[in-house]
Amino acid sequence: MIDIKFLRENPEAVKENIKKKFQEHKLELVDKVIELDAQSRAAKQQADELRSNRNKVSKQIGALMAQGKKEEGMALKEEVTKQAEQLAELEEKEAKLSAEVTEIMMQIPNIIDPSVPIGKDDTQNVEIERFGEPAVPDFEIPYHTDIMEKLSGIDLDSARKVAGNGFYYLMGDIARLHSAVISYARDFMIDRGFTYCVPPFMIRSNVVTGVMSFAEMDSMMYKIEGEDLYLIGTSEHSMIGKFIDTINKEENLPYTLTSYSPCFRKEKGAHGIEERGVYRIHQFEKQEMIVVCKPEESKMWFDRLWQNTVDLFRSLDIPVRTLECCSGDLADLKVRSLDVEAWSPRQKKYFEVGSCSNLGDAQARRLKIRVLGEGGKKYFAHTLNNTVVAPPRMLIAFLENNLNADGSVRIPEALRPYMGGKDIIK
Question: What positions carry a catalytic annotation?
Answer: 265, 280, 352, 355, 393
In DSSP terms, 400 is beta-bridged to: none
Q: Are 87 and 47 in contact (CB under 8 A)?
A: yes
Q: Which residues in 87-96 are b (16+ Cβ under 10 Å) and which e? A: beebeebbee
Whether the link from the prior residue into 254 is cis, omega within 30° of 0, is: yes
Q: How far is CA 92 from CA 43, 173, 318, 328, in A?
A: 9, 62, 59, 38
- d(CA 317, CA 263) in angstroms, rounded, equals 26
Element (H, E) at 362: helix 362-367
Phi-psi region of 172 (alpha: psi -120 to 50; beta: other; left: phi over 0): left
Element (H, E) at 141: none
Q: How far is CA 225 from CA 160, 222, 229, in A?
A: 23, 9, 8
Strands, sheet with 369-372, edge to edge from the N-terminal-most edge strand:
246-249, 369-372, 378-380
